[in-house]
Amino acid sequence: MNSRRKFLKNVALTAGAVSILPLQEATAGILNSTTNESGDELKSVRVTGKVTVHGKGLAQVVVSDGYQVVQTDAAGSYSFQSAPQSQFVFISIPAGYSIEKQANGSALFFQKIQKQKQTSPHFFALEPVKESDYKHHFIVWADPQIQKEEEAEQLLSETVPDTLATVKQLNSPHVFGVGCGDLIWDQHQLSAKYNQAVQQTGIPFFQVFGNHDADLEQRSDEKSASTFTTMYGPQYYSFNRGLVHYVVLNDVFFIGKDKEYIGYITENQLAWLEQDLALVPHGSTVVVFQHIPSFTRHFERYPAEKSLGAMVSNRKHLYNLLAPYHAHLMSGHTHFNENIILNDNLYEHCHGTVCGAWWSGPICQDGTPSGYGVYEVNGAALSWYYKGIGLPKETQFRVYKKDEHPDFPGNWSVNIWNWDEHWTGVWLEDGVEKGALVRVRAKDPLSMQLHEGPKLPVKRKWVEPGLTDHMFLFCPSDQAKNITVMVTDRFGNTYTEVIT
């Protein structure tokens, strides 16, 4: 069994009034370290600097090295002793200020710490936005995962134009993107193509580390993101837009054996996040981006399967930190679309992928179109939809006629890929409502047609259709002349398809 088939079998797809800890306490056990695992010198230096707006200092801007979290004083200045392991000093971009971009199109909010001297100065100049970012948008690209040149060209020729059209339709001065991990597929030479795609969207992108973005030759997790950080900066950080606080985490932990990893958030990140969130008022909306979902129902669908790489093992500790907030967790990784309401204040969004089922066709394993998430933020409230590449925004489900689902003879079936418990669906005969769609756990018929069996798909034969919880059934009479399927999302938007 090759590694990719094993991968599928095991995971179904690996699946200001707040005080900060005193420096001595915050860095306990850190500053005493002098070497890393390769024997290189690790040096703690004093990081100093200032955050300014048009030359004037800006107070209460959050600054961090990934270990300490401080705020600028009334003059916009800050100073702290960096941890020896720290590579970057970065700011949590405040709401109301522009997101600067690097030459590669990704967000610029960090500077590399210079360890040649005892003090490393870092100055950040911010530019106020011209219009309020109280209302803003973001787009989530999960798993572009390009492995070959032709896939990179497909990203550029299909995904980018579709994204550009979406950005134009949003007609907003405040749109950012998130590459939610697996930006490439182990082939780091294709990062230039991915960066080209990001640049062409015209919006700043924040990048998330995925398992296929790793340096696989490294012997430990600590070194596995070296190439990623060279291009994009810190592996974990935060920023703000409007009333929302955003966090990016790296939840891919390599165990130093082949390509194996687990879904796990390190103590460094949890300790940093605890300090970061201490400056966010309780009750705020917090959005967390990570590659591996904190939780998936895949193992309810496939109870015999076991994997530590499909969801975050120590997720309850993340949930505890997020408990005082209205939180949304954004991920990819699984190559299926799944929305889970974990509790009244915690929502998991696992996105279908840009590459679908690894660039083997137009859909993911669960029948979700290749695509991306689109989010509108109005104050502290989020609304969203899933945008299939090459499909109208209004295409939010797919209908299969009688007997087209081989597992449910006599029935019609519907795949509502962005469904959650607050969606509804009904069917009508000749304009008369007959009943609600009945949810079942099943495979998607198109995925079965394109992916099922050892010879399909031709490009990557190990891809197989997967069970999903967003398939629905209904059974109209044979005498009906027109069948209508009407689906309403959690925000009251109704999508309709009429079949004659």
Mean pLDDT score, 240-267:
96
Three-class DSSP category at 133: coil
* Domain end residue (candidates: 366, 388, 410): 388
Q: Which pLDDT band holds residue 257 (cuts at 50, 70, 90)? A: confident
Mean pLDDT score, 255-280:
96
pLDDT tens column, 312-361: 999 999 999 999 999 999 999 999 999 999 999 999 999 999 999 999 99
Does residue 473 lie within any of the structural domains?
A: yes
Q: Which pLDDT band holds residue 7 (cuts at 50, 70, 90)? A: very low
Mean pLDDT score, 5-14:
38
Does residue 464 lie within any of the structural domains?
A: yes
- Residue ranges of alpha helices (H) inside 204-296 are 226-232, 267-277
Residues 296 and 331 in one domain: yes
Average pLDDT over the chain, rounded to an integer: 93
Residues 163 and 229 in one domain: yes
Does residue 439 lie within any of the structural domains?
A: yes
Q: Which pLDDT band holds residue 3 (cuts at 50, 70, 90)? A: very low
Nearest by Cα to 166 from 198, 204, 129, 201:
201
Residues 441 and 487 in one domain: yes
Residue 489's contacts (CB-CB under 8 Å, 6 or more residues apart) are 385, 396, 418, 422, 423, 495
Residues 46 and 184 in one domain: no
Whether residue 15 is predicted with pLDDT greater than 60 in this model: the reply is no
Using alpha carbons, list the distances in angstroms from residue 335 to 41, 156, 193: 41, 20, 21
pLDDT tens column, 17-46: 232 333 333 333 334 334 444 334 589 999
Residues 263 and 376 in one domain: yes
Residues 190 and 328 in one domain: yes
Using alpha carbons, list the distances in angstroms from residue 490 to 336, 375, 398: 20, 14, 18
Residues 238 and 323 in one domain: yes
Residues 245 and 364 in one domain: yes
How far apart, in whole angstroms, are the C-alpha atoms of residue 88 and residue 91? 10
Cα dihedral 342/344/346/352 (nearest 10): 60
Residues 117 and 148 in one domain: no
Q: The domain spanning residue 454 has which CATH number?
A: 2.60.40
Q: The domain spanning residue 45 has which CATH number?
A: 2.60.40.1120
Whether residue 119 is predicted with pLDDT greater than 50 in this model: the reply is yes
pLDDT of amino acid 41: 53
* Domain end residue (candidates: 126, 160, 191): 126
Q: Which pLDDT band holds residue 256 (cuts at 50, 70, 90)? A: confident
Residues 122 and 135 in one domain: no
Whether residue 62 is predicted with pLDDT greater than 60 in this model: the reply is yes
Does residue 393 lie within any of the structural domains?
A: no
Whether residue 5 is predicted with pLDDT greater than 80 in this model: the reply is no
pLDDT tens column, 408-443: 999 999 999 999 999 999 999 999 999 999 999 999
pLDDT of amino acid 35: 43
Cβ burial of 346 (10 Å; 0-12, 13-18, 19+) is buried
Residue 66's contacts (CB-CB under 8 Å, 6 or more residues apart) are 83, 85, 86, 87, 88, 90, 234, 236, 237, 268, 272
Three-class DSSP category at 366: coil
- The boundaries of the domain holding residue 160 are 3-15+131-388
Does residue 116 lie within any of the structural domains?
A: yes
* Domain end residue (candidates: 388, 413, 438): 388
- Report the share of the chain in percent with pLDDT over 70: 92
Q: The domain spanning residue 232 has which CATH number?
A: 3.60.21.10
Whether residue 13 is predicted with pLDDT greater than 90 in this model: the reply is no
pLDDT of amino acid 197: 98
Does residue 233 lie within any of the structural domains?
A: yes
Residues 413 and 350 in one domain: no
Counted domains in the chain: 3
Does residue 225 lie within any of the structural domains?
A: yes
pLDDT of amino acid 258: 83
Phi, psi of 399 (to 5 degrees): -100, 135
Report, in angstroms and rounded to the nearest whole number, the Rg of the chain calculated over CA atoms: 24
The CA angle 380-168-160, to the nearest 5 degrees, is 105
Residues 286 and 369 in one domain: yes
pLDDT tens column, 297-314: 999 999 999 999 999 999
